Amino acid sequence: MKLTQEQVESLAPDPGTLKRAQKIAKPSNYANIGASDRAIWAESLGSSNYTTYIDISGPAYKCSCPVKKLPCKHAMGLMVLIANQPELATAPEPEELTDWLIKRDSAAKAKETKKSGEVKDPKAQAKRQEQRTQNVEAGIIELRKFLEDMVRVGLAESSKRSQDLWQDMQKRLVDAQAKGLSGYLEWIRTEMGQGPQWTERVFRALVRLHAMLNAWDNKHNLSPAMVQQLRERIGWNQSKDDVLSNPAVPGPWFVINHGTKYESGLYSQTIWLMHQQTGQFAMALNFASDFNPEALEKGFQNGTLLPIASAHFYSQEFPQRIILKRSNAFEMEWVDCWDWLEQHSQHNFESAAQSLQKQRIQQPFLEYWPVLVKDVRIVNKDEQLTLADTDGRLLKIASDFTCQWQLLAVVGKNPVTMFMVTSDCISFSPWAVLNNGQWLALNMNSEL
């Protein structure tokens, strides 16, 4: 198949690997280069020679070099070379590659067979769920005492608490199987005493946390879908198989922006998408350990369409988070007309506020709510960059948004269509803009 430079770059595990791959992407650095509809292969030449295989359908990579992070520079360099000079791929497929592909297909088939043959004990499941609920209840009781003590002594005094006290409470929540609440408390801890408006941010976070705990106490009066949403925020996870059993929403899906962050030995990847025909927002959230960062999804290029991809929403009633299924990471299309995007955009901040309010009522426990607004400008208000619409209404840029000057550089004085997310409907993080027919995504990535 025909690879493009952009498709290859979207598979890079980090900028350093891509840079090293581009340096070695020369015919003199590879031998026995070949390609088929399924795979790419070659012998990588250098101080040592390595055998490099790429399964395009995965994508998956196999290289005899000692580097554990995949794709390594040899696989990336080979893809860059094939993208620029496909006529070099003339060597026949090696038997070792054929065997590797057969083993991959057999493993995938065996996995599906195992899934279809699994028999779960409903009584044992119910007992485990009951025990976990009891653990969570105990953790919430401890958390309430912790929060009540915070309110009693005041935020200023609480900000002086030792880190050990915070971490002890977070550990108790993890032990109580309420990892989501532990993460929420960690965010509050890191915000304490940070910046001139930290008390406002922390107070709003405490209000939301208090609302979640009250909702949990009254969960028997909530709809099943709302309870499921609340459980996910507390720390319950739906299995991948359960999510994939939900109806698929076929593409085309538009890649708004994607980024990866690293904290405490864990990579978290956020991918924002929009359905081209309906305007439905979706967010894929993936995780990988410090030992296996290549487990994160690859092959996303901001501003492109995934025509064949299908989304499985975690919740049918309150759709946002998804598992995205693609038949091939290389399948993407560049957008040549933006009329559909303008049709899905809010006309001004007033209509955006109405859209966000509807989202908040339906999904009050989400971490972020997205919105797309047209004709947004950047203005200077009290020596601060601020968002303005055509009616002169203003929106604050989130205090933790670190790309303000990058935003100013890509927007300038032009009115643009802007994608934003908010956690409180008061301040916003602009993550991408459409400016003069170009989709420009801001940097959501941290260095890996």
CB 428 within 8 A of CB 372: no
C-alpha to C-alpha distance for 143 and 194, rounded to whole angstroms: 23
Provide the pLDDT for residue 77: 93
pLDDT at 448: 37
Q: For 85-112, write each residue's pLDDT tens digit.
A: 999 999 999 999 999 999 988 887 877 7
Cα 114 from chain centroid? 29
End-to-end CA distance of the chain: 30
Q: Are 12 and 18 in contact (CB under 8 A)?
A: yes
The string of DSSP letters for 75-96 reads: HHHHHHHHHH-GGG--SPPPHH
The model's pTM? 0.79
Q: Among 314, 273, 260, 307, which residue's Cα sits nearest to residue 419?
A: 273
CB neighbourhood size of 391 (10 A): 10
Is the pLDDT at 76 greater than 60, yes or no? yes
Question: Model confidence at 274, in pLDDT bands (50, 70, 90)?
Answer: very high
- Do residues 61 and 54 lie in contact, with contact meaning Cβ atoms separated by under 8 Å? yes
* C-alpha to C-alpha distances, 385 to 163, 374, 403, 406, nearest whole angstrom: 33, 18, 11, 12
Residue 425: what are its φ and ψ, rounded to 5°? Answer: 60, 20
What span, in angstroms and rounded, lies between the C-alpha atoms of 172 and 167?
A: 9
* d(C-alpha 20, C-alpha 26), whole Å: 12
pLDDT over 70 for what percent of the chain? 96
Across the chain, what does the average pLDDT equal?
A: 87
Kindly state the helix (H) or strand (E) to which residue 437 belongs, with its residue range: none
User: Is the separation of the CB atoms in 394 and 386 below 8 Å?
Assistant: yes
Extended strands (E) in 264-399: 266-275, 281-289, 304-306, 310-313, 321-325, 333-334, 369-381, 384-388, 394-397
Backbone conformation region of residue 383, classed left if phi is above 0, alpha if psi is from -120 to 50, else beta? left
CA distance 277 to 284: 19
Condensed to tens digits (0 to 9), the pLDDT of residues 119-178 reads 567 788 788 888 988 999 999 999 999 988 888 888 888 888 777 888 889 999 999 999
Judge contact between 83 and 8, C-beta under 8 A. yes
- Residues 331-354 have a mean pLDDT of 92
CA 359 – CA 355 distance, rounded (Å): 6
- The residue-averaged pLDDT of 307-321 equals 87
Residues 242-269 have a mean pLDDT of: 86
Per-residue model confidence (pLDDT) at position 119: 56
Class for domain 241-336, per CATH?
A: mainly beta
Given this model, what pLDDT does residue 402 score? 86
Determine the Cα–Cα distance for residues 270 and 286; give it in Å rounded to an integer: 7
Helices (H), ranges, 197-285: 198-217, 224-234, 240-244
C-beta atoms surrounding 134 within 10 Å: 12
* pLDDT at residue 447 tops 50: no
SS3 string, 4-52, reads CHHHHHCCCCCHHHHHHHHHHCCHHHEEEEEECCCEEEEEECCCCCEEE
